[in-house]
Amino acid sequence: MENNKKSKFANIIWQVYKYLLTIISMFRTNIRDYGMYIALAGIFIIFGSMTNWVFLGPINFTNLLNQTAYVSVLAVGMTLVIVTRQIDLSVGYIGAFLGAYVVVAVENLGQPVWLALAGALLLTSVVGIIKGYFIAKIKVPSFVVTLGGMFIFKGLLMLKTNNRTIPTTNVFFQKIGIGYLTTYDIGGVDIITLIIGAILVTVLIFSGIKGRKKNDKLGIPNEKLEIFITKLVFMFGVITYLSWTLSSHKGISYLLLITVVVVVIYHLMTTRTTLGRRIYAVGGNPDAAELSGINVEKIIVIVFISMGVLALISGVMYVSRLQNTSPNHGPFWELYAIAAAFIGGASASGGSGKIVNAVIGSIVIMSLKNGMALAGIDANIEPIILGSVLLLAVVFDIYTRNVRSIDLVGIHYAKKKYHKDLIEAKEQFEIATKELKEAKKLNKEDLIEYEYRFTDFQGQFNKIKEKIRVAKEEDFI
């Protein structure tokens, strides 16, 4: 009876240990994707603790998300530009110029908002086509084309604003910039936000389960159940926290809503549509894409038009949030977007980069800005930290490029199974090493024989180690 209890207890401990091993294996295998999430969590915790958790509190967190909106939207477009092996330096000033265009059209020319927006949309599309034409058709490097564009639109911004800050009081800009979705408060908490959160969680769970079933049907291996559930729990936690934080302040802002809509559309476009597949194919291998019947030039033009449209959205977000347009808007926007895309793991050699990760990259950047200001750190330090983070992120990405999958549970079983062989091989290897050393010291005539012996045992030892290293849990069931 006593014994039985003991083994039961040991079993529970083993199950917990096994679960931990599984989770750690997952992190180590997918470190490339999860590294950034871990980094973001680290940043949150650091700034949280430095600011007595004000950083993560409802007011500041809402503010952080609103601040991030314009960079996120640019970063989404920039990711596709980078995926197709291009760069766009012009979008900062284009975005600022379009913001100015819309504000001036509404405030000074008395145009209705829709007309101003339509005009800006037309303008940015034409600019996108021109950029794309120069880059794709005439083959001018995008760096040069968009550098030119950057100067041109800096000048146009100054002309448009007449070198003055122009405030706006239009309802549209107020709503977009500082407005929130309708709320329904109960005890200081917005119920609508909570309900949206609940719906999201439900959708997540059901689509996750559906995906697993579909994979089963197709015979594509699913991730381990433990990992799937852990991920769900984690997502549940994040969404719960987000909806709670937002609902305890003012609910969901229009800025956040627009960002989410843009991100969802682009995420679906890149992962589920033929257009997305073509964009990544062009980035992965332009020559092969061309020969596969893909119009490479057209794809690049489309990517630059999309970038322009997102610059418009970004610019309007920015002027709306500040309730004015100014000749000082625009610098560094494009560089933040590029940094966000790279922090998010986009590859400069093209073909890879995820939309959602670019948004995470944007949040990393803005968290640094916001957090350091809140913690009262000298504002001049911020770019130094940001630059270092960017470098670290890219170095990390390169280092983890060829990470092999690992299954610690499998290794645990394998270690048990091959324990005796391993010890034996190790002993022999150590003896051979020692003998070789001595033979070298004595400069023996048949030194080479010792070398052979050494290599032999080294090989055997490594072979067993390798066998353990690649072991998988499935192999032991």
Partner 1 sequence: MKQKYILSMKSITKLFPGVKALDEVNINVKRGEIHFIVGENGAGKSTLMNVLSGIYPHGNYDGDIIFDGKTKRFHGIKDSVKDGIIIINQELALFPNLTVFENIFVGHEISKNGVIDWDKTKELAKKYLDMVGIDVDIYQMVSSLGVGKQQLIEIAKALSQDVKLLILDEPTAALNDNDSDNLLKLLVELKKQGITSIMISHKLKEVEAIADSLTILRDGKTIIRMDKKDVNEQIIIKNMVGREIDNIFPKRVPYKGGEVVLETVHLNSFDKELNRYIVSDSNIKLRKGEVVGIAGLMGAGRTELALSIFGNPKNYKISGKVLVSNKSVILDSPKKAIDNGIAYVSEDRKTNGLILEETISQNITIANLKKISRYGILNFFKQNLFAEQYVKDIDIKTPSILQQVKYLSGGNQQKVQVSKWLFSNPEILILDEPTRGIDVGAKYEIYTIINDLVSKGMSILIISSELPEILGMCDRVYVIAEGNQTAEFDIKDATPENIMKSATV
Can you give the binding site for partner 1, defined by CB under 8 A?
Answer: 214, 218-221, 272-278, 280-281, 284-285, 287-295, 351-352, 402, 404, 445, 447-448, 451-452, 454-456, 458-459, 462-463, 466
CB of 221 to partner 1, least distance (A): 8
CB of 466 to partner 1, least distance (A): 7
Q: Which is nearer to partner 1, 233 or 403 (CB)?
A: 403
Q: Which is nearer to partner 1, 285 or 328 (CB)?
A: 285
Question: Tokens 């989404």 appear where?
Answer: 76
Separation CA 368–CA 47 (nearest Å)? 8
Separation CA 131–CA 302 (nearest Å)? 10
Tokens at 292, concatenated? 């596969």
Determine which helix (DSSP H) or strand (DSSP E) holds 166, and give its type and residue range.
strand 166-167
Terminal Cα-to-Cα distance of the chain (whole angstroms): 28
407 residue type, one letter: D
| Phi/psi at 302 (5° precision) | -60, -45
Neighbours of 297 (CB within 10 A): 16
CB of 277 to partner 1, least distance (A): 6
CB 319, CB 161: distance < 8 Å: no
What are all long-range contacts of 53-57, with beta carbons under 8 Å and residues at least 24 apart? 54/374, 55/370, 55/371, 55/374, 55/375, 56/245, 57/245
CB of 448 to partner 1, least distance (A): 6
Q: Which is nearer to partner 1, 2 or 287 (CB)?
A: 287
CB of 447 to partner 1, least distance (A): 8
Neighbours of 218 (CB within 10 A): 8
Separation CA 323–CA 170 (nearest Å)? 9
CB of 153 to partner 1, least distance (A): 32
Q: Which is nearer to partner 1, 277 or 417 (CB)?
A: 277
Q: Which is nearer to partner 1, 47 or 280 (CB)?
A: 280
Neighbours of 123 (CB within 10 A): 16
Q: Which is nearer to partner 1, 231 or 467 (CB)?
A: 467
Indicate left, alpha or beta for 223 from its phi (over 0: left) and psi (-120 to 50: alpha). beta
CB of 33 to partner 1, least distance (A): 15
Tokens at 95, concatenated? 């975005």
CB of 197 to partner 1, least distance (A): 28
